[in-house]
């Protein structure tokens, strides 16, 4: 799939964890009848003003532990109160200390659309995301061959979910456009060596057509940085570390969005 690096290590762990809970797709299809009614993530991210995806994030491979977050529901409610447009919930357990239970409980407690932030590498996870109530599902171009990206994107769309297709290079952004992505994320953190390069925003965002919703991911911690990615064409930002470490996420969101 990809050479040995940080990303491949994460994927190996995800595959192992998924194998422990995987059930036949036929069983998942039966469970779809009880899946929650979806919320409109696309509209939440494509309004006139800058949108903000606020992330529940305990840890990361690059920074280690960020915040304990013993009460993720309370944090999510603070995000909503502060003016976030969508909540991102990490469900990858090993490196990010996320959990599926976080996603389920948060979605039940708030009114905003929810993004399942994970490394989707199997058809099982796509169906699982829908059953859990993921309004927006993440697909990372660097994680999958193009054929699988197409398959998973189509399945997710047929199931009613919006899909955030994450890119890190110009080539990846072209693949995202080729598969028909309507929401494209530009992540300035290299998932192979975990280094941050904010020039990635300048390189990719202006090249994306106005017809897609463009999300700037990683490394945004100030109002000036929000203004910069807006100038480059971003419709939304995804912020995690800055919010979980702020001590006052309501104020921080208002400050980032100048509200």
> Active site includes 97?
no
Torsion of CA 152, 133, 99, 73, to 10 degrees: 150
> Active site includes 218?
yes
> Given 218, 225, 235, 241, which residue is catalytic?
218
> Given 51, 57, 78, 128, which residue is catalytic?
57
> Given 59, 88, 117, 190, which residue is catalytic?
117
The conformation of residue 211, written as its DSSP 8-state character, comes to T
> Active site includes 166?
yes
Distance of CA 135 to the CA centre of its chain: 11
> Given 78, 97, 134, 166, which residue is catalytic?
166
> Active site includes 92?
no
> Active site includes 30?
no
Q: Are 136 and 113 in contact (CB under 8 A)?
A: yes
Radius of gyration of the chain (CA): 17
Cα 188 from Cα 238, distance rounded (Å):
11
Q: Are 249 and 82 in contact (CB under 8 A)?
A: yes
> Active site includes 217?
yes
List all residues 6 or more positions away from 172 whose beta carbon is below 8 Å from its beta carbon. 141, 142
> Given 92, 128, 172, 217, which residue is catalytic?
217
> Active site includes 117?
yes
The conformation of residue 44, written as its DSSP 8-state character, comes to H
Residue closest to 63 by CA, chosen among 236, 181, 185, 221: 221
Neighbours of 158 (CB within 10 A): 10
Query: Among all residues, which ones are annotated catalytic?
Result: 55, 57, 117, 166, 187, 217-218
């Amino acid at each position: 799939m990809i050479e040995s690096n940080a990303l491949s290590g994460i994927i190996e762990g995800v595959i192992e964890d998924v194998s422990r809970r995987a059930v036949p797709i036929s069983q998942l299809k039966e469970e779809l009848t009880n899946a929650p009614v979806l919320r409109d993530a696309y509209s939440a991210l494509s309004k006139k003003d800058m949108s903000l995806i606020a992330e529940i994030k305990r840890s990361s491979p690059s920074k280690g532990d960020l915040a304990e977050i013993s009460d993720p529901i309370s944090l999510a409610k603070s995000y909503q109160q502060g003016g976030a447009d969508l909540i991102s919930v990490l469900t990858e357990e090993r490196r990010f200390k996320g959990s599926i239970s976080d996603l389920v409980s948060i979605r039940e407690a708030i009114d905003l659309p929810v993004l399942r932030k994970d490394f989707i590498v199997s058809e099982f996870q796509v169906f699982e995301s829908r059953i859990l109530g993921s309004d927006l599902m993440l697909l990372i171009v660097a994680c999958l061959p193009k054929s699988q990206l197409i398959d998973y994107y189509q399945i997710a769309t047929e199931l009613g979910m919006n899909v955030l297709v994450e890119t890190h290079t110009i080539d990846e952004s072209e693949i995202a456009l080729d598969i028909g992505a309507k929401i494209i994320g530009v992540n300035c953190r290299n998932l192979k060596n975990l280094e941050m390069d904010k020039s990635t925003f300048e390189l990719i965002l202006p090249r994306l057509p106005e017809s897609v919703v463009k999300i700037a991911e990683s490394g945004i911690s100030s109002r000036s940085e929000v203004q910069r990615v807006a100038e480059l064409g971003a419709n939304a930002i995804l912020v995690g570390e800055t919010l979980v470490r702020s001590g006052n996420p309501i104020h921080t969101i208002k400050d980032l969005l100048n509200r």
